[in-house]
Structure formats: C-alpha cells, structure tokens
Chains A and B, each alone.
Chain A
Amino acid sequence: MGKIISLWGLLLVSIATSSFAQEYPTKPINLLIANTPAGSVNVSLRMLASHVEKRLGQPLIISNNNAGGGSGAFAIVAKQRPDGYNLVAGASTPLVRIPQLRPVPYKFEDFVPILHYGTMESGLFVRADAPWKTLREFVEYAKKNPGKVTYGVSGTGTPQHLAMEFISMQEGGIQWILVPMPGEDNSIPLLGGHITAASIGSVYTHHVTAGSLRLLATHGERRLKAFPEVPTFRECGYDFINETVMVVAAPKGTPLPVIQKLDDAFHKAMDDPEFVKYMGTAGNLVAYRNHEETKKYLEDAYVRLGKMIKDLKISMEPAKK
C-alpha cells in the first residue's frame, strides 16, 4: 500500500514539476537590479528585459536597490523563494568580491547563476596632456618617483584597485598613493589634475573620445572595440583581469528547467541591436556564458580573487599599509 502511494506521489510530483516548468512563467517575475539607475548595468538590463518579457509572455517587475554596492539586493533575493519568480541581476561584484572583503548576510553559494551577458570593463586613465603614452612608461615613472603618483579608484577592494596593487607587487613594490573616490562626481579629480591617474570603469572612455583623457591599458580579457590600439594588462605583462561580469541569478534551488528557460530568453534578447550599440557606447563588452559556464567562471573567479586578496594583503585600511 505504501509503495503504491509513494509511486503515485512520485508520479504526481514529476508531473507537477515538469508542467510547472512548461507553464512557467504564469505570473509576473520580479527582477531586482543591484545597481544604480544611472549605471550601465541597469540600463542594459532594462533593454534586455523588454525582449525577455515578450519571449516569456509575462511582465518583468523591475526594481533597483543599490545598497552596499549591490550587496543589499543580493541579500534580499537570497532569502526569497526559489520558484523562478524572484531574480537578481547586477555586476558579479556582490557575489564574488564583496563576501570576501566584508561580512554580508548571504554567501556565494546561496545563488545559482542563470547567465552572464556582458563584461564590465575598466582601465587605467591619465590626462591627455600627461607625458606617458604607455603603461610601461607610467609604471617606470612611478617606480622612480615614489610618493608622487596619486591614483583614484571608485572604492577600495574593487578590481581596479586590485589591478594597481597587482602591478605594485609584480614590480617589487611601488610607492604610489591610493585615493578612493566614491560618488558620481568622481571624474573631476582626474580631469582637474588633482590626481595623476585613475584606475576606473570604462564609463570614462567618452572622455578619451573627447580628447581630455588617455587610456593606457584595459583590465579586460580582450581589447575594447572602441579602442583597438589600447593593450590589455595581460598584453603589457601583468596577468590580471577584471573578472566582473554582468550577471543574472536566482536563489539556490530554482528548478533547472526554469533556469534554462530564462537563460535562453535572455540570450536571445542579447541579439537586440540597440542593446549591442548601447553596450558599446557605455564602454562594456557583450559576452555570453550560459548558466553552467557562468557558474564555473564565477567559482574560478571567486577562488582567484580570494588568493589575490590574500597575496596583495588587501586590508580595508589603506592608511595602515
């Protein structure tokens, strides 16, 4: 008797989950974006969202939460039901980097990635009238002039900050000064000449196009399309990449068929020419990895970052170095 019940039970459950997956989505899906409304992550996601909605046949209810550099949004979604109706999207920073730098109320393992659709590019910028035309020249200058070079980053512990620390470590220690510049007015210190250089996100590239800044090198895996003559760090001899990608994720436990459906929907949405054009203008690269590959990529990045943070002894107290 018990056997029959359990067999029926199993049958019912499998029918239920598969039909659930087939019918998914049956109601609007919540998407929480862990990024500021002015950011490229937010804009690009909303562009994708309009296509995803059409494909899935259900509206996406989008909201933003930028608390704690994105960690707030991830914290919220980590606790939500893994039924496929609660998604979080943003840079991979809160997943991969922030938990290793300060305590947050969630873990990397609380999430299952669905895909990543782009990379967040960054690079080292100096003013256009600066004497250094290559990264090598700049680094040489910094080595010979300890204490004279100041570089800005948008925050401590960011990949851009780590990039500079990496160079310093590889070159046997360079005495340059880190100046954190949080806030949306952070282009002024460099443009105004108050700091020597900025290791910062690609949104500054429009100043390069306008002729006020020069991009010495980028932190990505590939060169930027808009600046094919600018080498990457790897090409300059520093094996460092900014691993931050733009990712969509769901709480752990979301059923696989649901993940695949979402993955597929977002992937097809990436074909939108407006999306591609925007990513280019905003200085980011379109890049896709599906949910399995993204998971592996992020796990690798997590480990690599952890090691780097330890090696570079990134303590969150810049003054204590």
Chain B
Amino acid sequence: MKTYDQGSSLFWLGLSVYVCVESLRLGVGTLRTPGTGFMSFGGSILLGIFSLALFLQVTIKKGESKVSPAEAPRLWKRVVLVLVALLIYAKVIPLAGYLVSTFLLMGFLFWTVKKQKIWWVLISSSLTTLISYMVFSKWLNCQFPEGFFGF
C-alpha cells in the first residue's frame, strides 16, 4: 500500500503542477478580482500541498498502514480489454449504428467476462441488443444512431 500511495500521490502532484501552469496562462487575476484561472490555480496549489503531505505522511510513517490495498488483480488484462472495447464501441457506434455495434460489444463482453459456449454468447448478445433497442429506442424514444447500414 505504501508504494501505491507514494506513486499515486506523486501522480497527483504532477497533475497539480500542470494545472497550476495552465491556470497561470489563463490568468489568475488578483485576490480581489479573480480571473479565469483563479479557482484552478487555488485548487492546483491545494492539490499539490495535499499530495505532498500524503507522500510525506506515507514515506515517513514507520510500519504498514492499517488499510490494505484491494486484492491483487490477476486479470488486469481483462480490465484493459473491456476498456478498449468500450472505447472502440464509442467510435464505431456512429458508423455502424446501434444495433450492430451493441451486438458486437455484448458478444465480446459476454465472452470475456466468463468464457461461454459460442452459441450462448451469440444468442444472449442478440437478445440483449434487440430488447434494449425495443425498450429504449422505440418505447422511450431515445435517439440511437443509424449506421452505415441504415439501421
């Protein structure tokens, strides 16, 4: 947990530096006449201080902290895959339309989350896609994109 906290606090510290610089560029104004970058400047300073404090607190303290990190993820690759799939979905949906993209995505998700037989995957993803389409698009009038294929 210690390294986790050290690493993450350094990350936030870096972020705060970036925001600070950007706020200065936007114009902080004065305390009496706050400018565009005022809040973000103040916020980045605070974030920087807190991150530094966290880093120091963790580094200086002896012994392990009471809070343990979450269980080590053995399947972090799966997490990345799902995230990538979602990003691809976001890009593909205006091109291929809701029905096709969702079908593909659900198929992928059902298969990834737990390996199933292929026919099960295909059936579940088609069912889900169709039902969700019915409910949200037809009944609730959400506007889903029509893709290249016209549906």
Within 8 Å by CB, do A and B touch in the complex? yes
* Interface residues of A, Cβ cutoff 8 Å to B: 63, 317, 319
List, in ascending order, chain A residues with CB within 8 A of B34's CB: 319
The distance in angstroms between the C-alpha atoms of A319 and B34, with both chains bound, is: 8
- Chain A residues with CB under 8 Å of B42's CB are none
Interface size class of B (residues with CB under 8 A): under 10
CB-CB under 8 A from B29, the residues of chain A are 319
Query: Looking across the interface, which residue of chain A has its beta carbon closest to that of B30?
Result: A319
B36 cross-chain contacts in A, Cβ below 8 A: 317
Show 8 residue pairs from A and B whose CB-CB distance is below 8 angstroms, ordered by the A residue. Answer: A63-B143, A317-B27, A317-B35, A317-B36, A319-B29, A319-B33, A319-B34, A319-B35
A319 to B27 alpha-carbon distance, docked (Å): 11
**Count of chain A to chain B residue pairs whose CB atoms are closer than 8 Å in the complex:** 8
**B36 — nearest CB in chain A belongs to which residue?**
A317
Cα-based distance from A317 to B26 in the complex (angstroms): 11
Name the B residues within 8 Å of A319 (CB-CB). Answer: 29, 33-35
C-alpha gap A63/B142 in the complex (Å): 11
Q: A63-B143, A317-B36 are in contact. List 6 more A-B contacts (CB 8 A).
A: A317-B27, A317-B35, A319-B29, A319-B33, A319-B34, A319-B35
Interface positions, chain B 17-52, Cβ under 8 Å from A, are 27, 29, 33-36
Q: 1/0 per residue B59-89: CB within 8 Å of A?
A: 0000000000000000000000000000000
Q: How far is the CB of A181 from chain B (nearest CB, A)?
A: 16
Q: Which of B114-151 contact A (CB under 8 A)?
A: 143
User: Which A-chain residue is minimally distant from B38 (CB atoms)?
Assistant: A319
A317 to B29, CA, bound (A): 10
Chain B nearest Cβ from A199, distance in angstroms: 21
- Taking CB atoms, residues of chain B closer than 8 Å to A317 are 27, 35-36
User: Which of chain A's residues has its CB closest to B29's CB?
Assistant: A319
List the A residue with the shortest CB-CB distance to B143: A63
Would you give the shortest CB distance from B103 to chain A, in whole angstroms?
A: 25
A87 to chain B, nearest CB (A): 16
| Bound CA span A240–B87, Å | 51
How far does the alpha carbon of A319 sit from the alpha carbon of B32 in the complex, in Å? Answer: 10
